Every structure is written in structure tokens, then in C-alpha cells.
Chain A
Amino acid sequence: MEKPDERLKRSRVFYGVLFLFLGTLFLLLFIALQSLILPILIGMISAYIAMPLLNLLRKRGVPKAVGVLILFGGFIFVVFVIGEQVVSLMPDEREKIELRINVQHKLNESYLGFLGKSSFDDEGNVVSTLFEDELHPVIENINAFLHLDAQEDSLYQSYVDKGKISTVTKGYYLQAQTLPKALANEKPEAIEEDVDRGNLIGNLGFQPENSRIAGLLSAISNWLVTPFIFLFLLFDDGQIKRFLIDLVPNRYFEMTLTTFDNVDAAIGQYLRGTLMECTLVGVSFLIGLLIIGFDIQAALFIGIVAGIANAIPFLGPAIGLIVGVTYAMVVESIDPIIPFVSGDAAILMVVILVGIVQLLDNAIYNPVVLGKAVNLHPLIVIVGVAGGSILFGFAGMLFAVPTIVVVNEIVSTLHRQLKDYFIIY
């Protein structure tokens, strides 16, 4: 009979090599399949959020398979119908060009009005004397961003020839040609690159491709994995967990089960809480904007964007504000429900609305829905969001905090459990 020490040694070598091999494989796959990370993550998060609904259905006596199919139907409905709605609300190339011309005009108009000027060369009021030096570079940059470059200019002309540009926009375009040279400069390269990269949806994990169709097909095939992940995770009856637990040595068995459970509960609470909070913020925006007098399509779009962006701490409310104010600047007329609001005050009303929604969020939604589910230091949140945006763009910003929450929960729970089970000091 061989010594138990020998067997122990061999076991250690075997598991060490296996761990190294799987670790390297996982890392390589992670790098190679980066474009799949976001679709997988979305599928997992959706399943996580849907899990309590499935439990509720099962509690009511609905068979699991039927429950999963109902939720899957709901998932497909949300993805396709609402997704389609959002995409249809997104401006196409012509609308984007029109939007930029309109925003540029309205911005300059509001800016000049604020400074008490009728043109950029005029003498302004007291605000102009005090702040113009600071404000002007900002306006210059925004103008540079909005200004059409040579290629976009020829595209604009082709739309004009086809009669697809409104008279108002044509007027704004002509006025933009009379702007001082500094304001009509070609945009810097960095900004140009940003614009080329496409819209918000385009940035959500889509890889830049040479051909638009190839890019679209690759993105669609990547996103096909999402419903499968959703379906498989909902069908799973603890088999995945059991498979992983089976790999754990006896000494860590109970500890791993407890860690799994605590992390699962905390992450579930956080994700569902965040979804609820974002929904409440989005609905508040929708109601507020309808009261201000925005049309329902615009209010719905801004509500959805503001709701999703709300998941990004600090920056989220600013995104809601920017989208809302931009629309208020561009919109020609509003139909307010409350009598004292006029079209001119739309921007101010949006700013007030953002303030009220933030107050509601911080005072009621967040404490009630999330409670103490997340207790991260603001510095960690800021660095995380910045890091996320560098690595994965907008999607990185959106998922930075959930990722930090998950990692933080795993590490802190594991540390506590290792101590409780006398494995570490």
C-alpha cells in the first residue's frame, strides 16, 4: 500500500495543473469572445430578474416548463417589441443631420439670449461681461461637435435636393453658415471618431466592422446567445450549482454553499432593486415630460434613456438632463397640461423635472427599493464607472457598478465565511 502523502502530492499536482489549464483556457476564451460578454451578461441578468417571477408562478401551481415559456415569451416581447419601439424612435441619418442643425441653432439662440445678444459680435449684458470668457470655449466645442463636416454637408444637400429637409431646418442651416469662423470649424478628430462610431445603441457591445451589413449580422448572431442563456438559466433546477459544488473539497462544502446563497441573495436583491429604481425613474420622467407637454413618443424615449442611464451613478442623471434639455431646445412647440408652462420655459421645466426626479429617487425610490443593498464608497464607484467606460464604452459604464457589487459581495462573503469556518484567521 502506498503512502497517503504520495496520493496527496499527486492530487495537488493534478488539481494545480487542471486549475492552471482551465484558468488559461478561460482567459483566452474571455479575450477571444469579448463581443459575447455583454449578450451573455444581459441574458444572465434578465434570468436573475425573472427568477422570482418564476418562483411566484410555481407557487401558484404553474408547471415549471409553462412558467419558463411564459417568461421567455415576456422576455422576447420586451426585447423585440419595446426594442423595436426604441429603435424606431432613434433618428436615422437624415433625422440625425436635421437634429444636429436644429440643436446647434437652438443652442446658439439660447446662449445669445442668455448673454443678452442678438449676434455673436454684439455687446452683451452683465452676464456676458462676467461669464462669456468661460462659457464661450464650451459653446465653441459643442458647435464644433454639432457642425456638419464636408461629407455630411454633401449628404445634407442631397436630402435638400430630394425635398426631405424641413423649411425650418433649411433656415437654421443657412443661419449656421453665417456663424463666426471659430464656431463653424471642422470638428477635432477625436470627436469625429466618436460620431462615426454611431449612436448609443450602436455602442452597446457592437463591434465596428468595415461593412455595415457584416457588422449588423455579426451583432445579431452575437445577441442570439442572450435568449438561450436566459432560457437555460431559468430551466436550470440547481444542476449548474450542484455541478460546481461537486468540484469543491469537503472542507469547503458548507462554506461554499453558504457563500453561494448569500452572494445569490445579495446580487438578486441589488439587480432587482436597480431595475425597479430605474423603472420608477423612467416612469417619473415619462409622466413629468407628458405634464410639461412633450409628445408621448419623445417622452417615452427620454424616459427610457433616463431610466437606463440612471443605473450609472452620478453620470446617469446628467445623461437624462442632457437628452431632456436637448429635446426641449429642438422641439418647435409643446402642449403643456399645466397652464403656466409656455414653450419658452420648456428647458427650465425639464431642469426642474430632473431635479424633482432626482429628489424622488434619492429620498424615496433608492432607500425603499434598494435599502442598504449597496454600500460602496463613492470614489470606488467613480473610478469603476470611468474604468468601465474606458474598457467597454457606454455598456462598461452601465455594468461597472453591478460588476463591482458582485465582486465586492463575493470577496466580502467569502472572507467572512472562511473565518467562520476556521479556514483562515
Chain B
Amino acid sequence: MAIDYINTFWGNIFHSFSSQNEKDEIELLRRIPIFKDLKRKELKTISGILYERTYEQGEYMFETGQPGAAMFIIKAGELIINRKKSSGEEVELATLGDGEFVGELALLDNSPRSASAFVSQKTKALAIFRSDLDHLLEQHSQLGMHVMKKLAVIIGMRLKATNDLLLSLEEEVEHGKTG
């Protein structure tokens, strides 16, 4: 009982920070594959470490080569993932919209970003900082294991997709040669 009172007291002091859009955020997190099967309580825990950012059209969320520190979930808006070729020409790799996420590798280590995220429409995004997640996972080991497993599965799927793409490109090149 006393604990509830203390928590309420503290919650009142930081009311505007702690309870803003909590429901929306939990619903949004539920749509992200990494957090898909988590319980509501666990999602609430994750939502406690989210940072909401608003990006104007024309801004970069991050750029190629910068150290990755956070994963971003698009709440509303649109991003273009692009990368410069050695010739300097920009190649669009993907367009991401509401509910999609980007920069998940940053949750594993601080290796440089492999592509840039260009904001093509005003975007509201939720960021999860690697270190915050690490601290959280230290305290909730079961939740941590679940998140890390999901992350590994997603990275594995993306690797598989890249392999498939590489194979089909190779086949195309071979067809081109024989044809």
C-alpha cells in the first residue's frame, strides 16, 4: 500500500513525462516483431525507456558511418533508407512507414551505421537506446532473453533474405552472360 502511495507521489511529480501516450506506445510496441509476444507488463517496462523524437522533413535520423546507439520505431511518418555508392550516387534501399523499425543492429553493438535514414515526411519516432535496454535486461533476465532471441531471429531472417537476393542477382548475371 505504502509503496503505491510513494509511486503515485513520484508519478505525480513527473506526471507529464511518465504517463504520456503510454497506451499508444504499448500498442505500437506490440506491432514490432522484437516485442511481439511480450506480456503487457513487459511492454510497459520497455515503454519506460522509450524516447519520443519528432523529425522534420529533410532531416537525417542517422547517417552512414555514425556509431549506432539506438533503434528507432516509426510512430508516424516516412523514412527513406539510402546509401551512397563509391561513385557518390545515392541508392534507395527501402522506404519505411508507420509501425516499422530501423537501426536494430545498434541494440547489439556500436558498429557504424551501414546506411542513412532520410526523413522524407515529418516523422514521429520512438527510440530505444542500447545502454538503457542493456540495463533493463540485466534486471529482467527473462524479458532480456526473449528480446535477444527475437532480435537474433530477425537478423537471421534478414541475412537469409540478403543471401537469396545475392543468389538471384548472381543468376541474373549468369543469364545475362549466357543469353
Contact = CB atoms under 8 A, between A and B. Distances in A.
B48 to A, nearest CB: 7
Contact of A422 (B63, B138, B139): B63
Interface in B94-146: 110, 127, 129, 131-132, 135, 138-139
A254 interface: yes
A262 to B, nearest CB: 9
Nearest to A245: B51
A239 B18 contact: yes
Interface size class of B (residues with CB under 8 A): 20 to 34
Contacts of B2: 65
B66 interface: yes
Instruction: Describe B's contact surface by its main secondary structure.
Output: mixed
Nearest to A265: B131
Contacts of A55: 135, 138-139
Contact of A253 (B14, B110, B127): B127
Contacts of A235: 6, 10
A422 B7 CA distance: 42
Contact of B7 (A65, A239, A250, A251): A65
A418 to B, nearest CB: 11
Given A58-B139, A422-B66, A257 B129 contact: yes
B34 interface: no
Given A55-B138, A253-B127, A257-B131, A65 B6 contact: yes
Given A65-B6, A245-B51, A421 B66 contact: yes
Contact of B49 (A68, A238, A420, A421): A238
Contacts of B65: 422
A372 B63 CA distance: 33
Contacts of A137: none
Contacts of A261: 129, 131
B59 A237 contact: no
Nearest to A423: B66
Given A59-B138, A66-B3, A243-B17, A254 B62 contact: yes
Contact of B3 (A58, A63, A421): A63
A257 B53 contact: no
B3 A257 contact: no
B26 interface: no
A181 interface: no
Interface of B: 2-3, 6-7, 10, 14, 17-18, 48-49, 51, 53, 55, 59, 61-63, 65-70, 110, 127, 129, 131-132, 135, 138-139
Given A239-B17, A242-B51, A253-B127, 10 more contacts: A237-B18, A238-B49, A239-B14, A250-B53, A253-B70, A255-B69, A257-B51, A257-B69, A257-B129, A261-B131
Across the A-B interface, the 9 shortest Cβ-Cβ residue pairs: A65-B3, A239-B14, A261-B131, A254-B69, A65-B6, A258-B69, A257-B129, A239-B17, A235-B10
Interface of A: 55, 58-59, 63-66, 68-69, 235, 237-239, 242-243, 245-246, 250-251, 253-255, 257-258, 261, 420-422
28 contacts: A55-B135, A55-B139, A59-B138, A59-B139, A65-B2, A66-B3, A237-B48, A238-B49, A238-B132, A239-B14, A242-B51, A245-B51, A250-B55, A253-B53, A253-B127, A254-B66, A257-B51, A257-B69, A257-B70, A257-B129, A257-B131, A258-B67, A258-B110, A420-B67, A421-B66, A421-B67, A422-B63, A422-B65
